[in-house]
Amino acid sequence: MAAPELHRFTLDNGLRVVVAPDPTAPVVGVSVHYDVGFRSEPEGRTGFAHLFEHLMFQGSESLEKLAHFRHVQGSGGTFNGSTHPDYTDYYEVLPAAALERALFLEADRMRAPKLTAENLANQIDVVKEEIRLNVLNRPYGGFPWILLPPVLYKTFANAHNGYGDFVDLEQATLDDCAAFFDTYYAPANAVLTVAGDVRPEQARELIDRHFGDVPARPAPVRPSFAEPRPTSEQRGEHKDPHAPLPALAIGYRMPDPVGELDGYLAHLVLAGVLSDGDGSRLQQRLVHRDAIVTDAGAGAGLFGPFEARDPDTFSITAIHAPDVTPERVLGAVDEELERLAATPPGEEELARVRARWTASLHSEHDRLVSRTLALGAFELLYGDPGLVYGLADRMAAVTAADVAAAAKALRPDSRAVLVVQPESGGSQ
């Protein structure tokens, strides 16, 4: 992917800015990434980073509740936010003529969101209902992203439920909210990205106008969330009252996504070799040949690639029949990994995986919202937004030997195995 023109600068208050002009369509994307995710929330406050994301949409000291919705949608735009392990993002995509409106709205809530007891109580209820809908009342809810980490990891930061425990959410206070905002929502802890039909000098002028006077506060020291890898296989079990069939998730530690990017990319290619398409290794072995699972997948990162710093997780999942034991599925997976480690994949197989991944990358970044968010995330995590446009070339440089080494690193004696059983029964 050809790298477009990128402009980067930092305001006096510490806000990092990325501007990516693209005049091909009269629209602009605006995003703000804050360097805080659910790995940073304190013990006893699980789900707080996500709860705070909701509160950022509840008005500010100068705008009433729902004003953000009204101003963006009234301009013909869309907006949203999301919470990740290591960052929280907010975005708008609007007609180019509405750029200043989006910048005003983001600067306004960066300056002073409306933190009230009413808003807090209301959004706690909203988040609890979201958890009921997406986790508690859904088959395989939280599988594997909530259920696997506490088996693979030992520290609270890496193992806890980022969606939140109801008791923790209900105990959140306005003082908690104010402290979280003051600590993590400083301009110096954020990245603003503007992409689309905008002139750099125009963007700089509007950004200075709206963000330049947001009060400076020091960025918090970002702790390392590193922890030792398992030295033996870790096991966990979960009863799912809604699951029609048993399921299995296997978790492995991956190379550091930032410090060992090429090793990380090799695991990404390995995930494609294992489960990308009907001809992939796990689909052919587990679904078609042995017919012991109904669905199998592999992924680099529980939330997708480039969503977190170290540590990150490689996962393999399978849904299988009640008369198939977890050990049988594990044995087949281990055999496929051993085969890959001993005999690297052929060039045709690698080319197929690379082509699919590159096509997906191009398709994703054709969407302005995806491109805007990717540029902001890569500035935040890597200090290099332009790396977004070099990923396809870096991926193409991954060799068959690199993939074999990645497969060899997925060791049975250094992994987590989560068994999900329907509450009514399962394999014996």
For the domain that residue 360 is a member of, what is the CATH number?
Answer: 3.30.830.10
pLDDT above 70 coverage of the chain, percent: 98
Residue 344 placed within a domain = yes
* Mean pLDDT of the residues in the chain: 95
Task: Give the CA radius of gyration of the chain.
Answer: 23
pLDDT band at residue 428 under the 50/70/90 scheme: very low
Is residue 358 a contact partner of residue 392, using CB atoms and an 8 Å limit? yes
Q: How many domains does the chain have?
A: 2
**Is the domain of 95 the same as that of 199?**
yes
Indicate whether 229 belongs to any domain: no
Look up the domain containing 383 and give its range: 234-422
Q: What is the rounded CA–CA span in Å between residue 346 and residue 372?
A: 35
137, 88 in Cβ contact below 8 A?
Answer: no
pTM as predicted: 0.95
pLDDT (0 to 100) of residue 2? 52
343 within 8 A of 169, measured Cβ to Cβ: no
Residues ≥6 apart with Cβ < 8 Å to 385: 6, 8, 18, 20, 193, 375, 376, 378, 379
What 3-state class would DSSP assign to 356?
A: helix
Which of 26, 27, 143, 37 has its CA nearest to residue 89? 37
pLDDT tens by residue, 166-184:
999 999 999 999 999 999 9
Q: Is residue 386 part of a domain?
A: yes
What pLDDT score does 303 carry?
87
- Burial string for 9-29 (b: 16+ CB within 10 Å, else e) reads eebebbbbbbbbbbeeeebbb
Tell whether 23 is covered by a domain: yes
